[in-house]
A and B are shown apart, each in its own frame.
Chain A
Amino acid sequence: MNWGLILSNSFYTAISANAIAYMLVATGLNVHFGYTGLLNFGQAGFAAVGAYSLSIPISRFNWPWPCAVLLVIVSAVGLALLLGFTTLRLRADYLAIVTIAVAEIIRLSLNSVRFTWLTGGNDGLQGFTSFMEKINPFPQQGIWLWKQKIDGYRLWLLVSGWILLMVVATIVYLLMRSPWGRVLRSIREDEDAARSLGKNVFAYKMQSLMIGGVIGAIGGVWLVLDKQSSQPGDFATTFTFFSYTIIILGGVARVKGPVIGTMIFLFVIQLVDISLQQATKTTPSDPTPLLPTWLIDQNNYAQLRFMVAGFALAALVVFRPQGIFGDKREQAFDVH
């Protein structure tokens, strides 16, 4: 067992550009669910729209990248408007049903053979990251983070991603401590009470949906920039559910909740995964793996990481229901 590699790899996974994508997507969801109480089960749809609004124009139509970035924001706002006008006047559970359906429609359309000329279908799109490589100030050989190598492109994504994340988190923080954020929380608590005090609940929900959606779309962009490929399979419903897991882990309605939640979530999953991979590994020189094959072997360890992650999450919910940073008092009066 190479513990140095296991730990440095797990740590890198928890702070990588891929992790930043999860943090952004979960931060957007936190605006919807944590602060406004909107049960959005289609956050993966916002991420997908963001990812493809970047990759399609650049790969297929050679747009300059700033225009594609603008399209990312415009289409996320468009999706928020579409979802909002159809569902925000209805009860909360309808939003959940419609958002999950819309996210799946988006994913299946991106995957569809009919649109392969545009989206690349199941194989997805590549070759849209050259702009990011061109403006990369870091040398190509990258650095070593203990025993984990980080190439120059990923280091650039990591550094610029953390700066972007800090900017987004600061904006969310400033918004949520403002009277605007207070109205959002009042809608989460009881939207009729907010209405009775003269607040235009529909407009605030729509603003929340747009802001959280744009943040989610930027998260989708970071995901595909890191993979250098955008594929529909990355935007399945599990992406949304991982985001919920992350914000519950970190603490709902806390700005650092999604950040810390992502780090713990990805660290635990990667640690379990790579440890088991090493413990079940066989080589020609050493044919006996560390763990007995009747218990676990190379072919079935992969499933175990989510079982362990699920168990850890269940334990957290039992022993610390407010998450790592949540306010215990807030959890105590659960009126829903």
Chain B
Amino acid sequence: MSTDTSPVSFPSVPGSHKPDAILVVDNVTRSFGGLTAVNVAHLEIPRRRITALIGPNGAGKTTLFNLLTGFDEPDTGEWKFNGLSLGGVPAYKVARRGMVRTFQLTKALSRMTIIDNMRLGARNQRGESVWRGIIRPAWASQEQEITQKAQDLLERFNLAHMRDELAGSLSGGQRKLLEMARALMVEPEMVMLDEPMAGVNPALKQSLLQHIKVLQDEGRTVLFVEHDMDMVREISDWIIVMAQGEVIAEGTFEDVGSNPAVVDAYLGSHHDVDLGDHA
């Protein structure tokens, strides 16, 4: 797959059109009681790019993630992945179609070994059928291939020395690495990372950044939620800003940083006005 490293030049308006967008969202809304958590009129995610989804706490970023990946159902709206609608498609089928997510609170399978965590991710395993599972020869050769692939990924993510440890013994940052490596076992076309840097120490951050860049080099699309602005600036091609459930801005880091709507969302609309009562 070819990698497009040229600078992006999409229009910097919310819901802007991108040629060959991998994910197109229309009128997706979700409310919890009286609170509208997500209300996205139109959104397109560019293919083979690293797109950051940012916004203040409670902006609806994680809820949007849950909706898009089938972990929650929207009240209205539809969204298409590679031109096919994902409305009403259960989460496991979304993953099989090539859109794999990670979680804000990492879900390492604590009482399973790291290599088993990895093997689990592989698709179309013959031994995952109950009948063929009993007969080892039916899946042993495939298991060997899967193990080799898992081993290669573990080496890439510097976890190979711990392959037979239980995942529960990993540090918070290592769990993030494991979760990302495990997601790659599914061979996703698009990777959705929910706060990949949360709780990761600075030393590990750089390596995590490199791993995310490699995803793009491999031709994958990355969409991630993040609060760490250094990271957002360093690796994102495109940035989408949400506030109060809506997409309020899109653009490159520079575009978004100078957008008054974004500054308002983060700092409040009267941040530069003296509201003091000493006048």
Contact = CB atoms under 8 A, between A and B. Distances in A.
A189 B71 contact: no
B109 A189 contact: yes
A183 B124 CA distance: 13
A180 B120 CA distance: 10
B96 A198 contact: yes
Nearest to A197: B121
B104 to A, nearest CB: 12
Given A196-B100, A196-B102, A197-B182, A180 B111 contact: no
A196 B107 contact: yes
Nearest to B127: A179
B168 A171 contact: no
A178 B133 contact: yes
Contacts of A332: 168
B100 A179 contact: no
A192 interface: yes
Contacts of B206: none
A186 B112 contact: yes
A200 interface: yes
B169 A181 contact: no
B161 to A, nearest CB: 17
A10 to B, nearest CB: 35
Interface string A304-328: 0000000000000000000000000
A199 interface: yes
Given A195-B91, A195-B95, A189 B111 contact: yes
Nearest to B131: A180
B134 A181 contact: no
Interface string A183-203: 101101110111111111100
Contact of A182 (B108, B119, B182): B119
Which of A174, A189, A197, A200 has the most chain B CB atoms closer than 10 A to its own CB? A197
Contacts of B143: 179
A179 B101 contact: no
Contacts of B71: 192, 195-196
B245 to A, nearest CB: 23
B136 A189 contact: no
Contacts of B103: 192-193, 196
B71 to A, nearest CB: 7
Interface string A202-213: 000001000100
Contact of A197 (B100, B112, B136, B169): B100
Contacts of A61: none
A180 B136 contact: no
Given A194-B120, A197-B121, A200-B92, A186 B134 contact: no
A198 B92 contact: yes
Interface string B108-138: 1111100010011101011111100110100
A196 B134 contact: no
Given A179-B119, A179-B139, A335 B110 contact: yes
B209 interface: no
A192 B166 contact: no
A182 B134 contact: no
A333 B183 CA distance: 22
Given A179-B128, A185-B109, A190-B107, A197 B120 contact: yes
Given A330-B111, A332-B168, A198 B134 contact: no
Contact of B130 (A180, A189, A196): A180
Nearest to B116: A182
A188 B112 CA distance: 10
A166 interface: no
A175 interface: yes
Interface in B150-209: 166, 168-169, 182-183, 185-186
A330 to B, nearest CB: 5
Contacts of B221: none
A201 B166 contact: no
Contacts of B186: 197-198
B133 A180 contact: yes
Contact of B136 (A174, A182, A192, A201): A174
B139 A189 contact: no
A179 B116 CA distance: 9
A173 B119 CA distance: 19
A44 to B, nearest CB: 25
A329 interface: yes
B109 to A, nearest CB: 4
Contacts of A201: 92
A211 B108 CA distance: 27
B69 interface: yes
Contacts of A194: 92, 120
A196 B119 CA distance: 14
Contacts of B134: 171, 174-175, 178
A180 B127 contact: yes
Given A174-B136, A179-B143, A182-B116, 10 more contacts: A179-B128, A179-B139, A183-B120, A183-B128, A193-B108, A193-B109, A196-B103, A197-B186, A201-B92, A333-B169
7 contacts: A179-B127, A179-B139, A185-B116, A186-B120, A196-B69, A198-B96, A199-B92
